[in-house]
Structure 1
Amino acid sequence: MVERRGASLWLTHALLILGVLVVFFPIWLAFVASTVTQPEIARPPMPLWPGDRFFENYREALLSGVNVPVATMLLNSLVMAIGIAVGKIVISLLSAFAIVYFRFPGRTFFFWTIFLTLMLPVEVRIVPTYEVVAGFGMLNSYSGLIFPLIASATATFLFRQFFLTIPDELAEAARVDGAKPMRFFWDIVLPMSRTNIAALFVILFIYGWNQYLWPLLITTDPSMNTIVMGIKQMFPSGDDIAEWPVIMATSILAMIPPVIVVVSMQKLFIRGLVDSEK
């Protein structure tokens, strides 16, 4: 490892600090705006330090909303994000395991068929998907929010590539010991995939949390709105005045769950991206 000393070390740290400040400054402004009054935001210059309306604004944000409390929308988004992440991981694990460890006709064809679905995002197949969900009576439900989005060709591909790095001797040893395929999957393959699962969970959780178009399409009941939909609905139309402190407080609340997931799983996330655990 080459150590960097002198001016280059200070320059590197200065650039890193500058980058952090550039990224963090808009978030800080949003937090400040969530702790002041409406006139303080409307009157330039905007304050750069928190005000004394923190508890009042956040209480109003949690207990109010356009049609439903923000706390309910946060719960809906949390259920949807966890359901999508867990569903994608489970289906992708089983699909990749079957493709790698089972011999059946057309195995390669089916894999590439799954992989080609990457070219068909939700927006392209949204009309037939909506018809199927409506036909099963899953509108305005958690199942309608989650099930159409849990198939993941990307996760299947990543798990397949990882399973191919597992030595064949492990599968042979398990077979000699009398382990059935699912016992081999549960006791050997799954523990070895722990960091990969963690890395994908973080990515897929944020993907599910940020969904807007699909929830907007299938939810007509305000009690099923997600937090991303709620923030959009808070913006005024026509000559209405925006309650910016409440909107900013809601935006800060919407960032907290993804931040908690990333911070709590950062070590496994980094290992899952850089360590194959061969």
Structure 2
Amino acid sequence: MAESPFASRGASRIWAHFWMVLGVILVVFPVYYVFIASTHSTQTILRPPLPLLPGPEGLANYGDALSGGIGQIGGVSLWRLLGNTTLIAVGIAVGKIVISMASAYAIVFFRFPLRMVCFWLIFITLMLPVEVRIQPTYKVMVDLGLIDTYPGLILPLIASATATLLFRQFFMTIPDELLEAARVDGAGPWRFFRDILWPLSLTNVAAIFVIQFIYGWTQYLWPLLVTNSNEMNTIVIALKKMISFADAETPWNLVMVTSVLAILPPILVVVLMQRWFVKGLVETEK
């Protein structure tokens, strides 16, 4: 007797859900484990196995961390570290969007000599990650006096070939009729961008903002190089400084609290902008 297609479809759905749930567990469990550790004392964390339920030290740990109880990072408050990281992440995301939109707009809607050469030169920079450009970029920052400053942390990271490519691909899907209608209406380049192109690009902007915000939030190497003062540290650098070579000297409960607080902002950005993020990626592929 032939197998029913409905039974086969049901089995496939069960397997799909099984692998999806397994994937979620593998991704979420480490985050849950860090949260659980943040509610226990250092002694409990160092004495395995760690309980899988929240402990009684949670309020004390979070209160200690948020009130400046982290001493391994020069006495800088956690609020200052989170503020630094947020400012850098937002600055990088906004800077990348502005520069990428402007360059993609010029490449797609303007005709000038060597237009495609400029695009391919931008695209080739994908082969040059920050690590390759560290030395000359650092020298430029020193010469400009931008060490231990927010511009020094943000400006070298705001150029993005990937975002330029995504905006270019989206702009190329804009119907020629819209451009012709704008010309007939007497709209100049700025008005066309402001009244037509910008509203159509909002979902793409949201998607790229989420990606670049997380990119900026997780930066480690560049902030480590261009900051000498603890006041300019990011949350990622602070986490590294909190960990000592000896486990007994590391306040693991505060490290876990800091880790949880460092994870929350990117999660909130993704959750709050999830619909726009997915829609922007789908529309970009069209």
What TM-score bracket applies, with the shorter chain setting the length?
A: over 0.9
1:11 is aligned to 15
2:86 aligns with: 78
1:39 and 2:43 are equivalent in the alignment: yes
2:143 aligned residue: 135
SS in structure 2 opposite 1:275?
helix
Conserved? CA contact 2:207–2:276, under 8 Å: yes
Partner of 2:24: 20
Q: Which stretch of the first structure deviates more once superposed, 131-140 or 258-267? A: 131-140
Task: Name the TM-score, length of structure 1 as normaliser.
Answer: 0.95
After TM superposition, give the deviation of residue 276 of structure 1 in Å.
4.5
Taking the aligned partners of 1:224 and 1:56, their CA distance within structure 2 comes to 27
Provide, for residues 145-182 of structure 1, a one-character-per-residue CA deviation record: whole Å limited to 9, x for no partner. 10110011111111111111111111111011100101
Quick one: which of 162, 170, 175 aligns to 1:154?
162
Q: Percent identity?
A: 57
Name which of 84, 103, 120 aligns with 1:95. 103
- State the match for 1:171 in structure 2: 179
In the TM superposition, residue 248 of structure 1 has moved relative to its aligned partner by: 0.6
Partner of 1:275: 283
In structure 2, how many angstroms separate the alpha carbons of the residues matched to 1:136 and 1:64? Answer: 36
Distance 1:277 1:251 in 2: 34
1:216 alignment counterpart: 224
Please report the TM-score for the alignment, with normalisation by the length of structure 2: 0.92
Is 1:199 matched with 2:207? yes
Question: What's 2:54 paired with?
Answer: 50
Which residues of 2 match residues 180-195 of structure 1 at below 5 A?
A: 180-195=188-203
- Distance in 2 separating the partners of 1:31 and 1:104: 55
Are 1:64 and 2:64 matched, yes or no?
no
Alpha-carbon distance in structure 2 between the residues aligned to 1:233 and 1:29:
21
Equivalent residue letter for 1:64: G
Of residues 99, 118, 135, the one that matches 1:110 is 118
Q: Which moved more, 1:7-16 or 1:28-37?
A: 7-16
Shift of 1:119: 1.1
CA distance in 2, matches of 1:225, 1:64: 16
Gaps of 5+ in 2: none
Deviation by residue 1:221-278 (Cα, 9 ceiling, x = unmatched): 1000000000010110357521111101100000000000000000000001112497
Aligned to 2:249, the other structure's residue is in SS state coil
User: Residue 16 of structure 1 aligns to a residue in which SS?
Assistant: helix
Q: How does 1:232-271 map to 2 (within 5 A)?
A: 232-237=240-245, 241-271=249-279
Aligned amino acid, residue 57 of structure 2: R
Contact 1:84–1:146 (CA under 8 A) maintained in structure 2: yes
2:250 pairs with 1:226: no
More divergent stretch after superposition (144-153 vs 34-43): 34-43
CA distance in 1, matches of 2:227, 2:48: 39
1:30 to 12, 31, 34: 34
- 5+ unaligned residues in a row in structure 1: which ranges? none
Map of 1:120 onto structure 2: 128
Residues in 2 aligned to 1:74 and 1:122: alpha-carbon distance in whole angstroms: 23
> In structure 2, what residue type is equivalent to 1:262?
V
Query: RMSD of the TM alignment (CA)?
Result: 1.7
CA contact (8 A) 1:192 1:277 kept: no
4+ residue runs of structure 1 moved beyond 6 angstroms?
none
Rounded to whole Å, the distance in 1 between the matches of 2:9 and 2:124 is: 48
Q: State the 1:84 CA deviation.
A: 0.1
